[in-house]
Amino acid sequence: MRTASALAPPKQLGKYEVGAKIGGGGMATVYIGRADRDDGTEERVALKVIRDELANDERFKSMFIDEAKILAQLSHPNIIRTLEYGVTGHHRFIAMELLSGRTYFDVWDVLATTGGRMPVWLAAWVCARTAEGLHSAHELVDEDGQSLHVIHRDVNPGNIFLTHGGEVKLIDFGLAKARVRLSKSEDGIVKGKIPYLAPEQAHGRPIDRRIDVYALGATLWESVTMKRLFKRETDVDTLRAIRDAKIPDVRTLVPDFPPDLWYIIEKSLRTDRDARYETAEEFRKELDEFIGGRAPEMKEELASLLTRLFPGQEALQAKWEAAATSQRVPQFTMPPPAPVPVASTSMLEVAQDQSDSQQPIAEAGPASAKTEAQPTSAKTDVKPPPDAEAKPSAHVEPKRDTAKRRAKTKTKSKSKSKSKTKSGRPPPTDTDTSRTTPTVPPARARRAQTEKRGARPAKPAPKRMWVSVAIVVGVVLALALVLAAR
């Protein structure tokens, strides 16, 4: 790969003065930026800048152009805004609005952990606003009026951002499919998070905008039930569940659930895409009809919910923004108190096929400009298995630790510890879920497995064995001396 010598951190990008570094990953770095508006107020933005060592690489330059062209055309109140993109000196950058709030997954997760529930009407309203933003993206056309065929391909609760002001924003178009993209995906590659894939994706069939409708329908199902729809213990089991496409009736899970809303959810999740909503706009219209006169109070209700679930965070975020924009030498990272969403993370990820040719660089999380030290969230590049027994190539669930998962892990650890204490050895495990009795391979098979995995250094003999050997040697020498004396 052709690289450029490291450049000094940028001080100005377009009209924006560069503040602190707030995150980054394999292909880009994110800074906070500021500019003075005509009315005297200050505009704060997130600035994504392609890394210096990739500035002259044609592949990454084309990826940057792809991303910037798509993002610049996404202009809707329910989509995170891209304000400007261009080149200042040697630095290629994209300026995005800086949002303060939490993802829909964060809200769902806290409620699920604490035994709370998402209000049914509010869940419908959030998904209606997301559908509105989706339809705007799906309808994008070029300068000649030809459809760009934009598909988000990664609609899920982690990519729906809820602001402290009660706004709903669809974020992270990093996996978006569009006709104008210069860089193409390999044939047969499925992109997105597995639990939100549509059946046609799981089967490797052609896709269109209706996969986004399906993913949003799955999000709404999970919102009102506080359960996961297709997520299973393994990716293989999750794909099987998606292929089977058995959608439990919400009315059997939630007492007094509105039948009209169940009809909307069920239609969005039909296996036959021709029986689904044709567009996200049709989905949105029926949701808004269901919400009816409650719509005007939903924005305030959403803001109140975030304040209750994340007390003091809005003030903390404002304080951090002021401190980060006041820094004029962006050489170290000032991580935000909560993840800052970006319009696309595609250039914050290290491609697997590039990992051997680049210096190791920490990754950033999905839909947020996280610091290099923070864990990442993987996206999937999955080749659909030809049958139900085939395994996908990657795991894609967000790596967020929740109280519920930690408690479950602790419980498992305790049970394993007790088992180990009683038997004197750790309990046997069997990774083949089709068997319940573990099979121990014979010695020859174990040696073959060891050689296949790679030779390991032999463990030193225990002290007890050396003591036994020394005693035997001593006895033999003593007998020899007695015999010699005779």
Is there a contact between 372 and 30 (Cβ–Cβ < 8 Å)?
Answer: no
The CATH number assigned to the domain with range 101-311 reads 1.10.510.10
- Of 357-371, 382-396, 448-462, where does mean pLDDT reach its minimum? 357-371
Do 101-311 and 12-99+313-374 have the same topology in CATH?
A: no
Q: Specify the higher pLDDT residue, 312 or 58.
A: 312
CATH number 3.40.190.290 given to 12-99+313-374? no
Q: Specify the higher pLDDT residue, 424 or 345.
A: 345
What are the sequence ranges of the domains in the chain?
Answer: 12-99+313-374, 101-311
Q: What is the mean pLDDT of residues 231-243?
A: 94
C-alpha 161/C-alpha 152 separation (Å) is: 15
Q: Specify the higher pLDDT residue, 53 or 364.
A: 53
Q: What is the pLDDT of residue 8?
A: 73
C-alpha closest to that of 391 among 355, 432, 354:
432
Confidence of residue 355 (pLDDT cuts 50, 70, 90): very low
Q: What is the pLDDT of residue 64?
A: 80
Helix or strand run (H / E) with residue 403 = helix 403-423
Confidence of residue 4 (pLDDT cuts 50, 70, 90): very low
Q: Burial of 38 by CB count in 10 Å (0-12 exposed, 13-18 middle, 19+ buried)?
A: exposed
Q: Specify the higher pLDDT residue, 366 or 65.
A: 65
| Identity of residue 89 | G
pLDDT of 206 over the 90 cut: yes
Q: What is the pLDDT of residue 366?
A: 37
- Of 4-8, 160-164, 400-404, where does mean pLDDT reach its minimum? 400-404
Confidence of residue 395 (pLDDT cuts 50, 70, 90): very low
Q: Specify the higher pLDDT residue, 282 or 56.
A: 282
C-alpha 108/C-alpha 287 separation (Å) is: 20
Q: What is the pLDDT of residue 107?
A: 98
Structure tokens at 268: 């969005």
Chain-wide mean pLDDT for the chain?
Answer: 78
Q: What is the pLDDT of residue 373?
A: 36
Is there a contact between 367 and 341 (Cβ–Cβ < 8 Å)?
Answer: yes
415: how many CB neighbours lie within 10 A of its CB? 11
Q: Which residues contact 417 (CB under 8 A, 6 or more apart)?
A: none
C-alpha closest to that of 336 among 314, 357, 351:
314
pLDDT of 140 over the 90 cut: yes
Name residue 86's beta-bridge partners: 93
Is there a contact between 371 and 335 (Cβ–Cβ < 8 Å)?
Answer: yes
* Residue pointed to by tokens 């209750």: 308
Is there a contact between 69 and 180 (Cβ–Cβ < 8 Å)?
Answer: yes
3-state secondary structure of 362: coil
Q: Specify the higher pLDDT residue, 145 or 261.
A: 261
Q: What is the pLDDT of residue 193?
A: 85
pLDDT of 14 over the 70 cut: yes
pLDDT of 151 over the 60 cut: yes
Confidence of residue 435 (pLDDT cuts 50, 70, 90): very low
Confidence of residue 51 (pLDDT cuts 50, 70, 90): confident
| Identity of residue 479 | L
Proportion of the chain above pLDDT 90, given as a percent: 49
Q: What is the pLDDT of residue 327?
A: 78
pLDDT in tens, 285-304: 999 999 999 999 999 999 99
Confidence of residue 475 (pLDDT cuts 50, 70, 90): confident
- Of 226-230, 248-252, 287-291, 401-405, where does mean pLDDT reach its minimum? 401-405
Q: What is the pLDDT of residue 386?
A: 53
- What one-character-per-residue DSSP string does 441-470 give? PPHHHHHHHHHHH---PPPPPPHHHHHHHH
3-state secondary structure of 380: strand
Q: What is the mean pLDDT of residues 317-340?
A: 84
Q: What is the pLDDT of residue 486?
A: 57
Is there a contact between 4 and 51 (Cβ–Cβ < 8 Å)?
Answer: no
- Of 65-79, 116-130, 369-383, where does mean pLDDT reach its minimum? 369-383
Greatest mean pLDDT among 205-209, 327-331, 433-437 lies in: 205-209
Q: In b/e form, how buried is each residue of 269-292, taking b as 16+ CB within 10 angstroms? A: bbbebeebbebbbbbbbbbbebbe
Q: What is the pLDDT of residue 173?
A: 85
- What one-character-per-residue DSSP string does 227-289 give? S-SS--SSHHHHHHHHHHT----GGGTSTT--HHHHHHHHHHT-SSGGGS-SSHHHHHHHHHH
pLDDT of 380 over the 60 cut: no
| Identity of residue 300 | E
pLDDT of 354 over the 90 cut: no
